């Protein structure tokens, strides 16, 4: 899964974002979040799926991902995954209103990248009334990259890209 090339592009599956927005709306007035699945390439990170991890103690201003519960959810998701290149690539959570990732969010992202030894994404879904915005970040073991380029993609296209890479390997 390691690319060793910390690209600054984050490609998000449209369905992933839509599912995360729905989860964020359902969780209101509390925050929610979870883990991102996908793969890394020389350009950055491709997110093909997301898993919601419920935090029973979440509030309108806090969501905490429990490590053990997240690992169990990741293990379960990966047993259903048909592509060996897909794995953990990051975290997502919601914020109410227009609050982007906090300083604490970015510090935790940097810690996760150091622990993973590779680039890790953070996607914050900001929900307010009927609108939503995305705040995205990528961190490498060396630190958080400023302002990644974010593209919306069809997950089928991303999976075909994985297949294409495998055929050339």
What pTM was estimated for this model as a whole?
A: 0.85
What's the burial of 54, exposed, middle or buried (CB within 10 Å: 0-12/13-18/19+)?
Answer: middle
DSSP state of 2: -
Query: Do 2 and 141 form a contact (C-beta atoms < 8 A)?
Result: no
What average pLDDT does the chain have? Answer: 84
Residue range of the domain that includes 102: 9-168
In a domain, 2, yes or no: no
Query: Do 120 and 107 form a contact (C-beta atoms < 8 A)?
Result: no
pLDDT of res. 3: 41
Mean pLDDT of 152-166: 51
Question: Domain with 103 in it: what CATH number?
Answer: 3.40.140.10
Q: Give the number of domains in the chain.
A: 1
Mean pLDDT of 140-155: 80
Residue 1: band (very low, low, confident or very high) from pLDDT cuts 50, 70, 90: very low
Q: Phi and psi of 42, rounded to 5°?
A: -60, -25
Query: Do 47 and 162 form a contact (C-beta atoms < 8 A)?
Result: no
């Amino acid at each position: 899964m390691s690319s060793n090339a910390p690209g600054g592009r984050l490609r998000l599956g449209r369905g992933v974002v839509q599912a995360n927005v729905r989860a964020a709306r359902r969780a209101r007035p509390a925050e929610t979040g979870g883990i991102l699945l996908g793969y890394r390439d020389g350009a950055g990170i491709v997110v093909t799926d997301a898993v919601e991890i419920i935090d029973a103690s979440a509030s309108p201003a806090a969501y905490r991902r429990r490590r053990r519960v997240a690992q169990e959810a990741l293990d379960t998701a990966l047993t259903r995954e048909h592509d060996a290149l897909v794995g953990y690539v990051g975290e997502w959570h919601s914020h109410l209103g227009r609050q982007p990732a906090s300083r604490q969010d970015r510090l935790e992202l940097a810690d996760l990248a150091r622990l993973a030894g590779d680039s890790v994404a953070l996607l914050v879904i900001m929900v307010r009334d009927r609108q939503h915005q995305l705040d995205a970040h990528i961190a490498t073991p060396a630190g958080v990259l400023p302002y990644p380029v974010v593209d919306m993609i069809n997950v089928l296209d991303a999976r075909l890209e994985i297949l294409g890479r495998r055929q050339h390997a």
